[in-house]
Amino acid sequence: MSLVIAEQVRKIYRTGETEVEALKGIDCTIEPGSFVSFVGPSGSGKTTLLNLIGCLDKPSEGTLIVNGTDIAALNRTEGASFRGEHVGFIFQDFNLLPVLTVYENIEYPLLMVQQIPAKDRPERILRLLKAVGMLEQKDKYPDQISGGQKQRVSVARALVTNPKLVLADEPTANLDHNTAYQVIELMKNMRDEFNTTFIFSTHDQKIVGEAEIIYTLEDGLLTDRQVKGGNGNG
């Protein structure tokens, strides 16, 4: 079964008397283990769509099924536990907690999500630190590491709860091109190692070429779908 099924998803933001139709009827399916990018100019709806898939917000109309769950039907508490169990997030500005070390930042989501027993946590954190190449920096604080290293830590933090899906909204926007490329490659390697589905948004055409499935968004509509090979394309 597809991990994400969107049918005629619309999102209308209402502020006072003005309405913005940010998504105008999105249809797409995303298979488990795929490496997907949403590309499009600023204002095209990338963040809105990622927020809906990540259950941070609800569609105004249409159907959105993620991992078999109808997102629109969840209340706040159910939505929070859905995110905690199934979704990891990576942000443009990293969002690491400055008072926690690299190790503690990765550990942090585990304190909220209970299904990984405490005795298994250090092994899991160390495995991820190793996988993202940050083992030697584990006792440093975020202000002691580079932007690229911060995003590596974010990737590990997103994966530590063993989510089905990782959503990354413009994860490379604050990185230079080489570092951006390396972070995308790291995400792809993590997909290979953990079979986690990754969806990232970008407006950078060079970076988007690294995705295996590329959805183009324009003015709230998906206008193109390109498949570049790799797994999870079914």
CB crowding 12-30: b at 16 or more within 10 Å, else e? eeeeeeeeeebbeebebeb
In this structure, what token pair is assigned to residue 91?
């942000």
Would you tell me how many other CB atoms lie within 10 Å of the CB of residue 168?
25
Q: Between residues 44 and 101, which has the closer beta carbon with respect to ligand ADP?
A: 44
Q: Between residues 13 and 176, which has the closer beta carbon with respect to ligand ADP?
A: 13
Q: What is the smallest separation between the CB atom of 11 and ligand ADP, expressed in angstroms? A: 8
The whole-angstrom separation of Cα 1 and Cα 179 is: 35
Q: What is the smallest separation between the CB atom of 214 and Mg ion, expressed in angstroms? A: 16
Contacts 24+ apart (CB under 8 A), 76-82: 79/55, 82/55
In this structure, what token pair is assigned to residue 88?
């990891």
25 binds ligand ADP (CB under 6 A): no
46 binds ligand ADP (CB under 6 A): yes
Q: Between residues 47 and 105, which has the closer beta carbon with respect to Mg ion?
A: 47
15 binds ligand ADP (CB under 6 A): yes
| Residues of the shown chain interacting with Mg ion in the complex, contacts defined by CB under 5 A | 46-47
* Residues making contact with ligand ADP (CB under 6 A): 13, 15, 20, 22, 40, 42-48
